[in-house]
Structure 1
Amino acid sequence: MGYEEYTIDGLIPMFLSVCVYVLIRVVFILKNKKLDWHKEISRLLLILYLGVLVVVTLFPINIIIGEYEQRYREIVINLNPMQFFGLLDTDFSIIVRNLGGNLVMMIPFAILLPVNFRSMRKFGRVVMVVLATSIVIEVLQYIWQLTMLNVWRATDINDVILNVCGGVIGYALYYYIFRHVPFMKRFII
């Protein structure tokens, strides 16, 4: 007996989520008759960022129906911060993509959190949310490996460390840009 494999790309769920959000915001704006474009842009950027974050870190999802006994590859998990999965033996572009991508990935999040939520304007809170988000992503990637929803993901403590470093950089950028550039203050909710 064989199996069938289906792939779910993340762009369709992201597109539908953004459409639902925009529809809800339009109804809310029409009902209240108030509109602040700067704040709406801030909210929309946060929603778009979260959608891209989910697509980049958790998709595609592969669903296998039928009898399937063979794994594509073993489960990959790294809890040693000094081990980089042999990245030093690979192509330089892979090193840049992995290290740079994980560092840059949380910078927008750490900027958009304090812009959109008053309670997130403290450094420690932003770092804790970035840390928790990164850990949830890595745990979901591990679950994806176990359930074979995406066997090409790897769970790595270095991703969490780089994400938190990116969050620190993002908060520093928020603090400087939104506190010291008068035009940008309009976007803070």
Structure 2
Amino acid sequence: MGYFIEKEFLVIFVIPLYLIVSGIIIFLKKKKGEKVDSFREIVKFGFVLYIIALIGVTLFPIRIGYGRQSITMINMGINYIPFKSIIYDIGQIGIGSFSVGFQIKLLIMNVLGNLILFMPIGFIVPVLWKKVNSLKDIVFVGFIASLSIELLQLLENFLNIGFFRVVDVDDLILNVLGAILGYMAYKLAKLVVTKYKIKGQKCR
């Protein structure tokens, strides 16, 4: 018999650890007379919460004490052909016992879910790291983050320590597109804020 490590473990363990470490760093900065950017600290904490949620959704729960999957099962859980899964899901609409509406809803949720999942990366990363401030940088960060998750899911499948997940290049593509959409939202928000500041200065 085995047991599960649920995603709540991340919340219980990581958040207090982050708050303690962050509190010590802020204390030391203030002691040295260095300025602490409150807005940046809030955004950093929000980003940590996002990373915890991302890991929890994509990699947890973790199963301990179960046997390995067969190599055949692992191979069945890999799609490296772009848009194959999406095209297959579209082709399955109207087939089987599920209603057409439910199948369409499931397809939309899968596509939108993968897009929305990575939008915070495109929005928050440029705020926290000024040097990561181009579309190329965001595509690279989104790609590495998504690829890391897919590879970890593959490892989980091989070790049989997580629920069986399909390691899918479509997820990788949608995640990167989500990061790009987040970056576009960031640029738009930055433009609005800049115009607001300029307008406010002219009114004075």
Which TM-score applies when normalising by structure 2? 0.79
Q: Which runs of 5+ in 1 are unaligned?
A: none
Letter in 1 for 2:83: M
RMSD: 2.3
* TM-aligned CA deviation for residue 37 of structure 1: 2.1
Name the counterpart of 1:37: 38
For residues 145 and 70 of structure 1, do their structure 2 counterparts lie closer, same or farther at Cα, with a shift above 3 Å needed? closer
Task: Say which SS state the counterpart of residue 119 (structure 1) adopts.
Answer: coil
Task: Say which SS state the counterpart of residue 140 (structure 2) adopts.
Answer: helix
* TM-aligned CA deviation for residue 147 of structure 1: 1.1
How many percent identity over aligned positions? Answer: 28
CA distance in 2, matches of 1:42, 1:16: 20
Q: Which runs of 5+ in 2 are unaligned?
A: 94-102, 198-204
Letter in 2 for 1:74: M
* TM-aligned CA deviation for residue 74 of structure 1: 2.4
Q: After the TM superposition, which parts of structure 1 deviate over 4 Å for at least 4 consecutive aligned residues? A: 68-71, 182-185
- What is the aligned residue count? 179
CA distance in 2, matches of 1:22, 1:167: 27
Name the counterpart of 1:74: 73
Residue range with higher mean Cα deviation, 23-32 or 95-104: 23-32
- Larger helix proportion, structure 1 or 2? 2
* TM-aligned CA deviation for residue 180 of structure 1: 2.5
For residues 5 and 80 of structure 1, do their structure 2 counterparts lie closer, same or farther at Cα, with a shift above 3 Å needed? same
Name the counterpart of 1:103: 115
1:14-65 deviations in Å (ceiling 9; x for gaps): 3311211111121222222244321111111111111111111111111125
CA distance in 2, matches of 1:37, 1:143: 39
1:150-172 deviations in Å (ceiling 9; x for gaps): 24211000000000111110111
1:81-107 deviations in Å (ceiling 9; x for gaps): 131174222622321221111111110
Within 5 Å, which residues of 2 pair with 1:80-95?
80-84=81-85, 86-88=88-90, 89=92, 91-95=103-107
Name the counterpart of 1:143: 155
Name the counterpart of 1:62: 63
CA distance in 1, matches of 2:45, 2:8: 16
For residues 15 and 179 of structure 1, do their structure 2 counterparts lie closer, same or farther at Cα, with a shift above 3 Å needed? farther
Kept after mapping to 2: 8 A contact 1:62/1:148: yes
* TM-aligned CA deviation for residue 13 of structure 1: 2.1
Letter in 1 for 2:73: E
Within 5 Å, which residues of 2 pair with 1:13-52?
13-33=10-30, 34-52=35-53
Kept after mapping to 1: 8 A contact 2:69/2:159: no
Matched, 1:119 2:121: no
Which TM-score applies when normalising by structure 1? 0.85
